[in-house]
Amino acid sequence: MTSFVCRLPACVLLSAFFLPTTPSVAQTHAAHVTNRVSSADAKMERFVSALMAKMTPREKIMQMEQAAGHEISSQKADELAREGVGSFLFVTDPARIHALQKIAVTESRLHIPLIFGYDVIHGYHTIFPVPIALASSWDPGLVERVQSAAAREARANGIHWAFTPMVDIARDPRWGRIMEGAGEDPYLGEQMAAAQVRGLQGPVVGGPHNILACVKHFAAYGDAVGGRDYDSVEIPETALRNVYLRPYHAAVKAGAATVMSAYQDLNDVPATGNVWLMREILRKEWGFKGFVVSDWEAVKSLQIHGFAASQEDAAVRAVKAGINMEMTSTAYADHLEDALKKGEVTLREIDDLVRPILEMKYRLGLFDNPYIDLNVAKQETDTPAAHALSQKAAEQSSILLRNEDHALPLSKSIGSLAVIGPLADAKMSTKGSWSQHGDPNEVITVAEGLREKLPNAKISVTKGVEIRRFNASVFDAQMPEPAPTLLTEEARNAEFQHAVDLAKQADVTVLVLGELQNMNGEHASRAELTLPGKQEQLMEAIVATGKPVVLVLMSGRPMDITWASKHVPAILNVWYPGTEGGRAVANLLMGDANPGGHLTVTWPRSVGQVPIYYNDNTTQLPEEVTYRYWDEPSTPVWPFGFGLSYSTFSFSKMQVNNWTVTENAPLRVSIDVTNTSSVPGTDVVQLYTHQRAGSASRPVRELKAFRKVSLAPHETQTVTLEVPAGELRYWSGSLHRDVLEPGIFDVWLGDDSTAKNHAEFHVKTVR
């Protein structure tokens, strides 16, 4: 097969607009770079203008279409490439990508290359832990390295554009897509959003091993009413600006090249037709210069929402809102030429939307070299380095939720182990949803990881119960879960009893319970948070044997494991840990890795508490706050930020270094953190603030800074965290603007959101 060597024009490497925040280099050097950069941009502008001058309206409109390669015949895909369609998604065979690109470049009238997009959510071939897990590492550097490795593998295989990061804040674990984001907190969400953009795109758009990021789903998709996927969202502007919009903005500030419009209505206006969101906020306020792609058929759906009167109206409204590219539906291709003729849209409007698409293709270097090298694709796929990183990420993102009497780690001289549960040996589920391209055969399950780790122990593995989703997932064809094998009540009872018997005979039982991957993700909301099927009964029966039991929880959302939180001595939440998940879990269980993950979501006692989050406001009768319900405490099982370790830590000598904070003098707080154990480990130092009074009520606590620290046995480190005054700004619901208000603030430091080390400081503003 012919091979095509990737080479990028120097101008692409210098393309400027997407430089990250000013680097701390000498001014002269910065000026030099800026000049070179703007000349590269000027060259790009000339190139794109010259190309657009040759394009017919039809050719422009076709560039604004993205087709689903896996849903159409190859003949149709070839035709679209010839006609100059802008992009394909879901074409993954490198040879096919190459063939389609060749048609676009050699047979379309203007030879404009295609851009290939894909959901590289947590890896491409090599699957990393799911995003909520990655965020639980509280380590933006690690997350950046993970997305950089994912980008490298995807780019080598012909993918230019990842529909990642999903930065939707989610406070409701019923929503299946909580798994795809960083959890409930805007500050943590900002850090994770920016880290992912940096990892995927590299320092400047156009790196040979990088791909475009796509921030989604703009905006506020994570707050669907009742946690029901795709349902409407109603959020006041205060919460939108102070909570929900912040991670998208952080991603845009980090240079995200593209944004995806959300499916749902936001305060009655569908996001994909929402002029305020797409034009006022995204482009005017935030200065976004990349392009916006709609979500899947979201332009067509404007009519379904009862918003647009027809498909033509849907296309017109999406144009007015500033949707540059339509994903999979064809309202643009079918109707925009007519709308142009009728004067419903102008050529100027079309030009403004098509230009950023062409610019992005230019920045990627596709006009100079559109092809991939099929040998390089092979070499860069499933590399040992990527697998090692995946394992490390899984170790660092698992959260030890309970560990009574040092139940974990297990002794390496253990004689026999029972590994029980529907997820104990489940390859597809261990890699988690949104991992269609990861080969399940490459996945190491928990059972396999333990067998590899303990070659001399007697290890018996069984499911105990089978679980399944009752209605089909839209992804079942791409990621089929094995069909149930226990077809009669008798067979199910026998398997249940078999599992209990194995537990009785073993020195220790590792229960691996939770949800199959198709119970999470898109189109996978739940009304209950309990363990599906008879897993709870199985767990209770095994605990009743009186033998040592450890629960490994595998899922993409917090689950109702309130009984386990009181009766199972050790609980390790591993989310969906990815390709090397089983090895990571075995290392964690046996003490060869020390859990260091912390919760990025508040863990509810039951579904009735949902939504529950730490950064709410203090209101009437605060002394009653832990009993807002008469039938259950209103506190969670585990708070936001919580996570145990095999090490123990203590905090002392908290010091506010400057009592007065101003625009020029950030808050600086330090604290001594000591590892009081004989095991090396990591802890996450978290800083929370509270504004005591102002023009609007402020949350009881807000995360404003954090640092992950590694400590040797008995080591003490002084950790200093800084909060710039800008971080204390908020959008005031009474003044309808962004404010920094003078007054007294509280500050807490600790390793979860109930941190006890407290001090005060004072904000002084300059009038």
**Judged by CB, which is closer to ligand BGC: 295, or 752?**
295
Q: In angstroms, give the least distance from the CB of 90 to ligand BGC.
A: 7
Q: In angstroms, give the least distance from the CB of 216 to ligand BGC.
A: 6
**The dihedral sign for the CA sequence 467, 470, 475, 479:** positive
CA distance 683 to 137: 10
Residue 559 CA neighbour count, 13 Å, CB half: 26
How many CB atoms lie under 10 A from the CB of residue 594? Answer: 20
Q: 183, 189 in Cβ contact below 8 A?
A: yes
Q: In angstroms, give the least distance from the CB of 56 to ligand BGC.
A: 29
- Closest to 336 in 3D by CA, of 305, 361, 299, 303: 299
Q: 196, 147 in Cβ contact below 8 A?
A: yes
**Judged by CB, which is closer to ligand BGC: 89, or 130?**
89
Q: In angstroms, give the least distance from the CB of 543 to ligand BGC.
A: 39
Q: In angstroms, give the least distance from the CB of 550 to ligand BGC.
A: 35
CA distance 636 to 603: 6
**Judged by CB, which is closer to ligand BGC: 25, or 225?**
225
How many CB atoms lie under 10 A from the CB of residue 70? Answer: 14
Q: Which value, to the nearest 10 degrees, does the dihedral of the CA atoms of residues 142, 144, 146, 152 take?
A: -150
**Judged by CB, which is closer to ligand BGC: 100, or 467?**
100
Q: 686, 751 in Cβ contact below 8 A?
A: yes
**Cα end-to-end span (Å), the chain:** 69
**Judged by CB, which is closer to ligand BGC: 12, or 167?**
167
Q: In angstroms, give the least distance from the CB of 235 to ligand BGC.
A: 19
Place of tokens 């319900």: 629
**Judged by CB, which is closer to ligand BGC: 221, or 745?**
221
Q: Which helix (H) or strand (E) holds 337?
A: helix 331-341
**Binding-site ranges for ligand BGC (CB under 6 A):** 89, 119, 163, 216, 295-296, 522
Q: Which helix (H) or strand (E) holds 667?
A: strand 667-675
**Judged by CB, which is closer to ligand BGC: 216, or 431?**
216
**Judged by CB, which is closer to ligand BGC: 101, or 261?**
261
Give the residue nearest to ligand BGC (CB): 163
Q: In angstroms, give the least distance from the CB of 87 to ligand BGC.
A: 12
Q: Residue 207, exposed/middle/buried by CB under 10 A (0-12, 13-18, 19+)? A: buried
In degrees and rounded to multiples of 5, residue 752 shows phi and psi of -160, 180
Q: Which helix (H) or strand (E) holds 746?
A: strand 743-750
**Judged by CB, which is closer to ligand BGC: 163, or 706?**
163
Integer CA distances (angstroms), 320 to 85, 261, 339, in order: 21, 14, 12
CA distance 657 to 722: 10
Q: In angstroms, give the least distance from the CB of 119 to ligand BGC.
A: 5
Gyration radius (Cα) of the chain, Å: 26
CA distance 145 to 198: 9
Is 295 a known active-site residue?
Answer: yes
Q: In angstroms, give the least distance from the CB of 469 to ligand BGC.
A: 18
Can you read off the two tokens belonging to residue 102? 């060749």
Catalytic residue among 223, 265, 295, 683: 295
Query: Residue by residue, what is the 3-state secondary structure of 101-119?
Result: HHHHHHHCCCCCCCEEEEC
**Which residues are the active-site residues?**
295
